[in-house]
Chain A
Amino acid sequence: MFFMTIQVYRIKPEIFILFRYGTLIARYIKKRKGCVSAVRKRMWFMGICVFLLLPLLFMWGCGGGKKEVAGPGGDPIGDPIIIGSALPVAFSYGWVGERGIRLAVEEINAAGGVNVGGVMRPFKVEVIDTRDLEAGVPVSEALLAVEKLILEKKAHFLVGGPARTEALLPTLDLVNKHEIIHISSTGSFSPRSNQMVKDDYEKYKFHFKTTCWTFTMLGDFYGVLDSLKEEHGFNKIAVMVQDVAHARQAGEIVSKRMAEKGWDVMDPIIYPTGTLDYSDGLLRARKFGAQVLFVWMDMPESVIMMRQYRDMQIPAIPIGFINAAEHPDFWNATEGKGEYTLNHLVNSGNAPAVVTPLTMPFVEAYKARWGVEPEGYGASSSYQAIYTLKDAIERAGTIETYAVLAALEATDMEGVYGRVRFDPETHLVMHSLDPAEGAVPQIIQWLDGKRETVFPPSIATKQLQLPPWMN
């Protein structure tokens, strides 16, 4: 009824909701007229006011949940090329990825569109919320979203998610079934999807990835930890991870590897999602004498940990993959108590950095469009995925799947996070610490309210700093 009405009469949903509230309440009051006391009348009046004003407050305060996307500035001709994006838009990997995708599409359309064999065609984005990062939402929901994009929205290409590995892996079978190119640009750090491409190329060749694996990120962490050992003599580490598969695995690998490297490693502490108190683990780390806290968490409650860390003045430096610490609002969320936190942003360009001549223009454009700097993982890789796809389509001269597939495999271009090439066996974008060779990672440290790049050295803006209470 709701959707039918707003579609048939083209009414804005919020206007419809307010109108509906009003009429329902008015009808109810009329029905009860005569038997309602003066006190109750006043109570009803207050209730009506609250129910009518609350939605207005939220809409005004938040600017609404959906942002209207500006139309193309150029005059592309030809039918649009539809990009289907299955993303968990309530989570940062989802909405940040969507912003990267939309920004690239708007820029491309404003510049005239995609040159497909001499015909300029615009991109059009169709996003469906997969909710695949929400607890209790079955994987089948994400797969339905992917299938809907392919069958109902008639997507020519899939870019974005699903973000959860458990949802991404079966997506590869759907992609194979419908023979549609899929570029994973946010979420899943698992090497499994690319391993599937390697193991059964014929079946899974349509899948590409513009992000990276856990192993790649761990390699970067080892680089930072080695330098801490060399420069400051650190050799004790406490590992604290969230109770989710990727974090537990990362914790296990780091514990094992650091023990092999001669570090004293405290027994890993695994926190359930939603934990509100980390004092026990932090006190244990202090008793253990840990100089490094290795944290791997993607829950927003990790902000609490960073506040407690500062309040307790734990003499150790926090380093890891902390979803909350990626975002520019982390500083305010921790009231500055997250200072000195080192965080992996996965790909460079997810925070200001000079990696290639394209990086800072992307950062500025993102800020101009969304009012905030790139917010973390998913931004640069999703933006880059669209430009990589455009490049492949233009070289192929068609949007026919197999031609674009071959063109994507032959990709060699400069991107926002370094040189973009795909591994011919796994279809994972090639990584390097040198922007001239591959996609460059970025580890930032929160210093004085800013995300300063400290790793890799080729793009570093500041030297790593220790908290003053460690000296």
Chain B
Amino acid sequence: MEIIIYGIVNSLTLILMSIGFALAYGVSRIPNFAHGALFILTGYLTWLLRFRMDMPYGLAILLSLIIVAIIGVALYQIILIRVRGMPISEIIASFGVGLAILEFLRWSGLKGTAHMLPPFMSGSMLIFDVPLDYQRIIVVLGGVSVLLFLWFFTTYTKPGLSLKAIAQNERAGLVLGIDSDIAATLAVAIGAVFAGIAAIILLPLGNIVVEMGYEVLVFAIAVSVCGGLGSWKGAVIASFLIGFAQTITVSLVAPHYHFVTALFIIIMVLIFKPSGLFGRQKELEERV
């Protein structure tokens, strides 16, 4: 039972970490390597607004998410738009921005254990005799809510359908009057907001440290590659696959192999499905 409960928590944690990255890539085909930095930036901004400027927690969260969304827009409009279509340049540019953000945060005082966001609820409860703290329950609820929102947004709203159209066939989308640059800007901004939401939900479990930005990026890439780059459904399935594999490894083997498990799963998936679980990059080669 412990494995099932903590496996679900771990999987939803991975979904929260990676869904923004997967969405941005799915629509704009731009790998936003500043994803981890935006995660930490949201957490730190919220901390600054809440504890340095004494804002109400809700308002601090809202403002941080707005600022991060604007940064996402600026990131695409100022930097990424110029290198669009050049994958290596896109990776270098976005990773460079992420690195600059993280090092700037470190320089401006984000070090040590003093920076933490308050949990939404303190305490714990027993689920089938397994203790689970409330904040981890919120992680599960938050993860499910994000998925439901994403499904609703891409199925029933006009901007969401535009994003879907561009992701499926950019030229056909252009013919139908959808501006691919605006769609990509929107996707990067929503991806940044999802990174921010993940930070707001996950960071109260521990503290805000720069190093976690790199960790989030690694997991986001791992999940996206495993699920198939560009497929957010693949990212969800991959999160559950990696999440449960990690939990089983930690319980039955040793926590020491926690990170290795994620990499092992990626290698295995890529050997048998080079495009990832739901990816289409190498569809033809796979058929041949």
Contacts and interface: CB of A to CB of B under 8 A. Distances in A.
A116 interface: no
A243 B113 contact: no
Chain B CB count within 10 A is highest, among A63, A90, A279, A332, for A279
B251 A47 contact: no
Interface in A28-55: 43, 46-47, 50-51, 54
Secondary structure call for the A interface: helix
Contacts of B258: 271-272, 275
A341 to B, nearest CB: 13
B166 to A, nearest CB: 19
Contact of A276 (B74, B107, B108, B206): B206
Interface in A292-332: 300-301, 303-304, 307-308, 311-313, 324, 327, 329-330, 332
B207 interface: yes
Contacts of A252: none
Interface stretch (B20-28, B116-124, B273-281): B116-124
A50 B63 CA distance: 11
B251 A280 contact: yes
Contacts of A43: 73, 77
B109 A333 contact: no
A151 interface: no
Contact of B122 (A272, A301, A335): A335
A135 B73 CA distance: 31
A372 B129 CA distance: 42
Interface residues of B, number: 53
Given A50-B70, A272-B258, A276-B206, A333 B133 contact: no
A43 B239 CA distance: 35
Contacts of B111: 90-92, 95
Contacts of A243: 256
B112 A65 contact: no
A324 B207 CA distance: 10
A57 B48 contact: yes
Contacts of B282: none
A215 interface: no
A277 to B, nearest CB: 7
A270 B210 CA distance: 23
B283 interface: no
B206 A301 contact: yes
B158 interface: no
Interface string A106-143: 00000000000000000000000000000100000000
Interface of B, helix, strand, loop or mixed by DSSP? helix
Nearest to B208: A300
Interface in B115-142: 116, 118-119, 122-124, 130-131, 133
Contact of B255 (A60, A270, A324): A270
5 smallest CB-CB distances across A and B, nearest first, come from A62-B109, A329-B114, A311-B124, A58-B108, A304-B206
Interface of B: 2, 6, 9-10, 13, 45, 48, 52-53, 67, 70-71, 73-74, 77-78, 104-114, 116, 118-119, 122-124, 130-131, 133, 202, 205-207, 209-212, 215, 247, 250-251, 254-256, 258-259
30 contacts: A47-B70, A47-B77, A57-B45, A61-B52, A61-B53, A61-B108, A62-B48, A62-B52, A62-B108, A64-B108, A65-B109, A90-B210, A92-B112, A95-B111, A243-B256, A270-B254, A270-B256, A271-B255, A271-B258, A275-B255, A276-B13, A276-B202, A300-B113, A303-B206, A311-B133, A313-B131, A333-B113, A333-B116, A335-B119, A335-B122
Interface of A: 43, 46-47, 50-51, 54, 57-65, 90-92, 95, 135, 243, 269-272, 274-277, 279-281, 283, 300-301, 303-304, 307-308, 311-313, 324, 327, 329-330, 332-333, 335
Given A61-B53, A275-B258, 17 more contacts: A43-B73, A46-B70, A47-B73, A47-B77, A61-B109, A65-B108, A92-B111, A269-B254, A272-B259, A274-B212, A280-B2, A300-B112, A300-B206, A301-B207, A301-B209, A335-B119, A335-B122
